[in-house]
Structure 1
Amino acid sequence: SFANVLLCKEEVAAIEVDASQELSVSKLLERANRDRTPDVDEPSLIGGDIALKPEAERNADPCTSRGCLWLKYTDGKVYIPYYIANHYSYREREIIVRGLESFSAVSCIRFRPYQNGDHEWLSIESRNGCYSYVGRQGGAQTVSLSRQGCLYHGTVQHELLHALGFNHEQTRSDRDNHIRVHWDNIIDDMEYNFYKIDTLNQGTPYDYNSVMQYERYAFSKNNLPTMEPIPNSNVSFGQATQMSQNDITRLNRLYQC
């Protein structure tokens, strides 16, 4: 009934509020992917949650320079089809849809349900952990939002920003002016998560509050910080629970909304 639907929506909001007050997107992602054991048909990940095609470099150049943007229509909108796998509950599906719809309020991005004849779309599935490819890949491209730990508003936004073409903030080309990486504290073989890439920064400043910025102890092997803001090491960063104004500005500039 309608009353039940309303109740479910309120429950979703209540559950999410509780979660967002506790943990940043960065912490949620790290927790969800910490002990990930991928299935044989799943991609390897870089940066904790960025899926790589088998032939891709471990640190691919930003795809947006090679044409991985989603296509814009004559009405100025970018329509991106999505399909949500049917293994999610009603409540879980609501969280995903709310994340998808949050983009239409702040940009020209319009996520819409898959229709027959679509030849590229996001296939949103509960696989092992939270991850996405960066940018448009063609065909069905998986966005994994595991039912175990990925279903939060900010986490959905984070993975969708990857799918739209964005990398992590700490891999920005101008990172070293804002973040000092403590390489000695990073888990062995995880250093590549901190390699800079030739990112398109869209003329926006480095953003400690970006939903794409990981937190101070990300990938730490010894509980010591892997990242420290400079010049002021006390600045808070990596605490975002949803997209920042900078994230939104960048998105609009990339897609010329």
Structure 2
Amino acid sequence: MHSTMILLGLLLGLLNQVSSLPVQNATGVHEGKVRSKRKYSDEFPEWDEMNVMDQILQMNSRFRPPRGLLFKEGDIASSYMKSSITCPGNSCLWPKAVDGFVYVPYILSPLYDDMDRITIENGMQDISSGTCVKFVQRTHEGSFLDIQPRYGCWSFLGQTGGSQTLSLQTPGCMWSGVAAHEFMHALGFVHEQSRSDRDQYVTIVWKNIVADQMHNFRKQLTNNLNSPYDYNSVMHYGRYAFSEDGGPTIIPIPDPYIPIGQRDGPSALDLHKINVLYNCGAND
């Protein structure tokens, strides 16, 4: 009887371990009973209080941009040969397939461990679950994202053609909201407070901005997709971004106490804007 109870206990323990393992769904994204929204929160508890962009800026301040690249707005990579971060005429969008989906091929560096991969794939799933954009592992495609743990958190804007690096350093960028932020850059989105109409919704407090970082607050000639301004966008700077002395650099209008930015992932309006930009729900 005693040996039977021991055997039963071992079997139950094994079943619990198996049930808690992440599994792959049909989209190739790992899922478990509780999705891992972030990693290393025990190592960096202060980052749990930051929004996505604050964390990205802190991470990127530790590195110089790779040779030949510039960072605009803090995490949008461009080459020295390219003076603009805009995407004129939607020229940088990923193509839509005949089935109505937009497939974004990617490869993941073998330097990532299993938890890193799950975190990054959760960031993909947060976009794919609400849009026609699907991230797929690359097979033979000529244009694809090469996701690497390289020098902070950053991405190029939209599809650049060929192999394009998207950096998610481990451990500092290993939050699914950070990954989703960089994937939205790769889909063609700049930061929310860079919208051409932003002065109707926020005040930029120029006197509080570090002098050599003011260029990060320039407005862009954006296609606003007839969408409302989104203070809750995962693409929004935090209230104190690039602050010189701890004072706010962005104040919402008309209510200065509206929270801006967050860390949980794409907002409902973020997903809506992806669907509008890529004409989801309609075949070309």
TM-score by length of 1: 0.91
**Kindly tell me: are residues 5 and 36 of structure 1, through their superposed partners in 2, closer, same or farther at Cα, counting changes over 3 Å?**
farther
Please list the CA deviations of residues 203-249 of structure 1 after superposition, one character each: whole Å capped at 9, or x if unmatched. 11111000000111001111111111112211111234211111010
Mapping of residues 139-154 of structure 1, within 5 Å = 139-154=162-177
C-alpha contact (below 8 Å) 1:31/1:149 kept by paired residues: no
Give the alignment's Cα RMSD to 1 decimal: 2.2
Tell me the SS of whatever aligns to 1:213. coil
Contact 1:185 1:221 in 2 (8 A): yes
- The letter of the residue matching 1:147 is T
1:22 to 37, 49, 57: 49
Q: Structure 1 residue 6: deviation in Å?
A: 2.9
Structure 2, gaps ≥5 residues long: 1-13, 23-31
Decide which of 46, 60, 65 is 1:38's aligned counterpart.
65
Match of 2:197 in 1: 174
Distance (whole Å) between structure 2 residues aligned to residue 205 and residue 166 of structure 1: 15
Corresponding position of 1:6: 20
- The 3 A distance-change label for structure 1 pair 63 and 80 is same
What percent of counterpart residues are identical? 37
Contact 2:126 2:265 in 1 (8 A): no
- Check whether the contact 1:127–1:146 (CA below 8 A) recurs between aligned residues: yes
Give the match for residue 62 of structure 1. Answer: 86
Distance 2:98 2:238 in 1: 40
Amino acid at match of 1:90: D
Q: Which amino acid aligns with 2:65?
A: P
Alignment of 1:253 with 2:267, yes or no, is no
> Secondary structure of the equivalent of 2:58?
helix
Contact 2:65 2:71 (8 Å CA) reproduced: no
Q: Which residue of 2 aligns with 1:82?
A: 106
CA distance in 1, matches of 2:34, 2:18: 10
Q: CA deviation at 1:32?
A: 1.3
Answer yes or no: is 1:223 the counterpart of 2:246. Answer: yes
Whole-Å separation in 2 of the counterparts to 1:12 and 1:66: 34
Aligned residue for 2:127, secondary structure, equals: coil
> Of the candidates 97, 117, 126, which is equivalent to residue 121 of structure 2?
97
Q: Distance in 2 between matches of 1:51 and 1:182?
A: 25
Identify the range of structure 1 (171-180 vs 5-14) with the bigger mean alpha-carbon deviation: 5-14
Larger Rg: 2
Distance 1:14 1:172, change over 3 A: closer
State whether residues 205 and 249 of structure 2, in contact with CA within 8 Å, keep that contact through their aligned partners in structure 1: yes
Whether the 8 Å CA contact 1:23–1:241 is kept in 2: the answer is no
Aligned partner of 2:159 among 112, 128, 136:
136
Deviates more, 1:232-241 or 1:210-219: 232-241
- Structure 1 segments unaligned to the other structure (5+ residues): none
**CA offset digits 1:155-186 (Å, max 9, x no partner):** 01000000000000010000000111011111
Secondary structure of 1:51's aligned partner: strand
Confirm or deny that 1:49 pairs with 2:49: no
Q: Is the 8 A contact 2:209 2:242 kept in 1?
A: yes
How far apart are the structure 1 equivalents of 2:251 and 2:229? 14
Q: CA deviation at 1:67?
A: 0.9
**TM-aligned CA distance change 1:109 to 1:89, over 3 Å:** same
SS of 2:179's equivalent in the other structure is helix
Under a length normalisation based on structure 2, what TM-score does the superposition of the two structures give?
0.83
Instruction: Give, in whole Å, the separation in 1 of the partners of 2:179 and 2:120.
Output: 6
SS at match of 2:211: coil
- Classify the secondary structure of the residue corresponding to 1:135: coil
Q: Which moved more, 1:94-103 or 1:186-195?
A: 94-103
> Are 1:211 and 1:238, in contact at CA under 8 Å, matched by a contact in 2?
yes
